[in-house]
């Protein structure tokens, strides 16, 4: 696995010093499936940091009556809907995880709706002028959100641990779990593109320690520039 030692690297320090002069610093949080991004997001929330969760947005934009659900229905058909008209996520997942073209189509159909929702939530938080906002986006690199954040934090772990955790978490066969991991940008590539990497191979406390070190560093830089 690539080196996970970018928590306080020169690149991260430079960008922080450069960008923290803005009223609000926007941190993009991402990772691979089952790498522990949600754990890190929860740590930020515990500290009172505003978090815009794209997974929530992805659910909101496909609620009954939305344009997002209408777009899905028109392309994938009635088979991805439940009897009550809501989205059958399991049925849709079976289709898109087995077909990269269908997966790309789904991302294109929902991408504009999710991006609009994220921007609305971000604007809402910006009105309160917080020093820091987290944009929690699983497909941050894949959906080209890098230019909308000041820094990118990637939550990573070994491929073996990722596979094991995904199989246990979602009760999946090895083949299905590998298929879902392969559907995303490799975690090694995300690490290369990251400004900050959180190593989540250990315990939650060890992960929290890394996040708190980043937060302490961030607020120290903020205080020094004000």
66-119 per-position pLDDT tens digit = 999 999 999 999 999 999 999 999 999 999 988 999 999 999 999 999 999 999
Domain boundaries, the chain: 1-50+131-226, 55-127
**Does domain 1-50+131-226 sit in CATH 3.40.50.300?**
yes
Per-residue pLDDT of the chain (226 residues; tens, 9 = 90+): 444 445 544 445 434 444 444 589 999 999 999 999 999 999 999 999 999 999 999 999 999 999 999 999 999 999 999 999 999 999 999 999 889 999 999 999 999 999 999 999 999 999 999 999 999 999 999 999 999 999 999 999 999 999 999 999 999 999 999 999 998 999 999 999 999 999 999 999 999 999 999 999 999 988 877 6
Query: What is the pLDDT at residue 201?
Result: 96
* CA 162 to each of CA 36, 62, 220: distance values in angstroms, whole numbers, following the listed order: 9, 28, 33
**Mean pLDDT score across all residues of the chain:** 90
pTM over 0.85: yes
């Amino acid at each position: 696995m690539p080196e996970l030692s970018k928590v306080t690297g020169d690149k991260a320090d430079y960008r922080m010093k450069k960008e923290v002069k803005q009223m609000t610093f926007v941190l993009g949080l991402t990772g691979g499936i089952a790498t522990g991004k949600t754990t890190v997001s929860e740590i930020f929330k515990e500290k009172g940091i505003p978090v815009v969760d794209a997974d929530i947005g992805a659910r909101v934009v496909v609620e009954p009556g939305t344009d997002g659900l209408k777009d899905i229905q028109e392309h994938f058909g009635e088979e991805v809907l439940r009897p009550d008209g809501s989205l059958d996520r399991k049925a849709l997942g079976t289709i898109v995880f087995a077909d990269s073209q269908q997966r790309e189509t789904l991302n294109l159909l929902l991408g504009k709706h999710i991006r609009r929702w994220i921007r609305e939530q971000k604007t809402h938080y910006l009105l309160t002028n917080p020093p820091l906002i987290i944009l929690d986006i699983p497909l941050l690199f894949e959906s080209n959100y890098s230019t909308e954040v000041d820094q990118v934090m990637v939550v990573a772990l070994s491929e073996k641990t990722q596979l094991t955790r995904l199989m246990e978490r979602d009760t999946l066969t090895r083949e299905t779990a590998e298929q879902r991991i392969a559907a995303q940008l490799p975690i090694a590539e995300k690490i290369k593109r990251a400004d900050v990497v959180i190593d989540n191979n250990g315990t939650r406390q060890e992960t929290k320690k890394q996040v708190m070190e980043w937060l302490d560093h961030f607020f120290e830089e903020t205080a020094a520039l004000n």
